[in-house]
Structures are given as structure tokens and as C-alpha cells.
Amino acid sequence: METELSRTLGIEHAIFGFTPFPAVAAALTRAGGFGVLGAVRYTAPEDLARDLDWMQEHTDGLPYGLDVVMPAKKVEGATEAEVEAMIPEQHRAFVRATLAKHGVPELAEGEASGWRITGWMEQVARNQLDVAFDYPIKLLANALGSPPPDVVARAHDHGVLVAALAGSARHARHHAEAGIDVVVAQGYEAGGHTGEIASMVLTPEVVDAVSPLPVLAAGGIGSGEQIAAGLALGAQGVWLGSIWLTTTEAELHSRALTDKLLAAGSGDTVRSRALTGKPARQLRTEWTDAWDDPAGPGTLPMPLQGLLVAEAVSRIQRYEVERLLGTPVGQIVGRMNSERSVRQVVDDLTRGFEKAVDRINRIAGRSAQ
């Protein structure tokens, strides 16, 4: 499953995997793909350095990348405390009332919230980059638009390719103008922050818009047949995120959440602003329903919403309150019905790809080689 981009990066399969779990990213790299570690949860630079040290020890010298979040719009000159002070009291009261309605216990005295979306703030991402460029990362991805010009230049000075996600051809052209090296065409079906155009329509539009830049197809992909379709549409690889959540290497720290993912169908997700303030596809729960209810106060813009709900999400996860428990995940969740190792997933993807290519060859009257 080689393309020009995979050969440039020195990987066997053009399968790029975004994940917050170092063990998953490393396993994908060892399996011949390209693991991309999500950095948003690392609020302390030393924690990121610790896990990048671990990646170095467990990737056998093979390439991997890092994904940061640098929003196109930011709160200028504001500290985290100053941003939190902007949160209206009615929103705080709504959080308290929703948690009380479902009987969610308080965190134990002295127990800090383990889930802080401060990584949505640009300075946090810049601190992460100060660490990351000390390591031999081969790709830097940004989930929310093009990184600032100085970041793109800094990455290129280190010999690092820069990727950015796009939900439309217009966004993709902006990335190309900003000097981005790889565009990830992320369709409506994807987990996390995503736009409104489906992958089958979006991928060829983006390929045409930014040619000859390489494009990765993303959104709702979880089989080799879908990878073949993405490459047939002009992509030079695929960008997968959700499929790794139910792998044996994933560290969800919640059996209840894993079971919810395994049981969910493709119709059990929703695009909601409940988690970060921007539309993000996630499991539909009574928590997302509460925030999407017109009778509620509505969500706040990024990064206010993420800071508002941080402790609440920690409490929901800590006590595994099933009705409220969720996670960002794409519509491919309907195919995530068994726990497999990362290598097993990659093997299934490559086998499915080969079957799809053989099928097309037969339709075209060619014998498989």
C-alpha cells in the first residue's frame, strides 16, 4: 500500500493514525504505518517529553509524528485564569444542575481534574513544540486550520512536514497558500472536529484544489475497501483516528466506555459543541443531549466551553456514569465491534485493500498481479 507520500516518509503502508495514546502510535509505526501522537492532553511539557522518550524507545527507529491544536481564532493575551473568568455563571450553574440530576459524585478532596482542554490555547501548543522539535518527528499536524507562519517555517527548518485538516476545498486552498505540505481531507463522518461535507464528495474536491500537494482521506474510514476507495479518489493515503479506540493498546481507562463503543452503531454519534465549543462528532449521550437542548443556555465558544466542562467530564469518566459517558468518535464506530491489537487492525486493513484492488481488476478485465 505504497504511494509517493509513504515512500517520502519511509513507511510501508500509507496508513496514518491519529491517537492520544503513545502505545497505539508506536504500535502502528511498528506495523508499517505512521503513528501520530495527539498532544492536546499534555498541559505540562515534561509529560510530553516523557511520552516522546517512550516513543523513541518503542518505534524501532521508524518514523512518527505529532498532532497539536492551534486554533485559527484565539483570545489575545489571556491567561487560562483570565479565560476562565469569562465563563458566565449561568453556564456553571447548568453544569452543576446536570451533574446533580444524574447523581455524579464530586471528586475526592484534593483530587485534581484529570481532563483539561488547555491545549486548545495557542501558547500551550507552542510549549509543546518547544519539546517536540528536540525529537526526530517527521510530521507535524494541526487539527484546527493552518499553524501560524512562524510555526510552519520552524517545522521546515527542522525537516518536518506540516499537515493540516480541511473540511472543504476552500480550507484546503488556504492551507496550500500557507505552505502546508500535506492536506488531510476530513469528511463529515469523522470523529472529533469535523465539517459538513461527506468524505466521498470532499476527497476528490480537495485533491483537485491543492494538486500536486498530497492529500490524505479521512472520515468514516475503517476498512481496506474504504482505503482503496480513498486512493481511487486521488488521495495518497488515509488518516484514521476512531478505529484505534477499541484496540488492545488503547488506554481509555474505562471498561464501560469501551463497552459503549463496541455496542454502538453508526447512527449513535452526533456533531455537538458540548465538548469544546466547536462542532465535534462524538457518542450521543444524555450529556450531549442536555447541551443541544434549546431550553439550555447553549454552548460557549472555544476555549471557554472546554474549560467549563473539564471537571465535569473528569467526574463523569472517574465514576463511569454510563448515561453521560462519551468520547469523540466517528460514524465508523458501527464497525468497531471487537477488540483487536493495532497490528491485527493493520493486517485486516491491508487484506481488505488487496481484496478491493483484486475486485476492481476483475471488473476492469485485468488479472491480479
Q: Taking the model in full, what pTM does it have? A: 0.92
Q: How far apart are CA 167 and CA 292, in angstroms?
A: 22
Q: Give residue 84's pLDDT.
A: 81
Cell digits for 62?
A: 521508524
Let me know: does 200 contact 234? Beta carbons within 8 Å. Answer: no
The whole-angstrom separation of Cα 185 and Cα 208 is 12
- Over residues 164-184, the pLDDT tens digits come to 999 999 999 999 999 999 999
Q: Distance (Å, rounded) from C-alpha 59 to C-alpha 11?
A: 12
Q: Distance from CA of residue 301 to its chain's centroid?
A: 19
For residue 117, CA distances in Å to 39, 113, 289, 302, 303 come to 11, 11, 21, 10, 8
Q: What is the pLDDT of residue 120?
A: 56
Report DSSP state, residue 236: S
Are the C-beta atoms of 27 and 35 separated by less than 8 Å? yes
- DSSP 8-state class, residue 339: -
CA distances from 250 to 58, 161, 243, 246 (A): 15, 26, 10, 7
List average pLDDT for each run of 10 residues in the chain, which is 369 residues long.
Answer: 96 97 98 96 91 97 93 58 88 97 89 57 84 97 88 96 97 97 97 94 98 97 97 98 97 91 97 93 97 95 88 92 96 96 98 97 79
Range list of β-strands (E), 219-268: 238-240
State which amino acid sits at residue 170: R
**Distance (Å, rounded) from C-alpha 161 to C-alpha 351?**
29
5 closest CA partner among 165, 223, 222, 235: 235
Pair 283, 268: CB distance under 8 Å: yes
**How far is Cα 130 from Cα 78, in angstroms, rounded to an integer?**
20
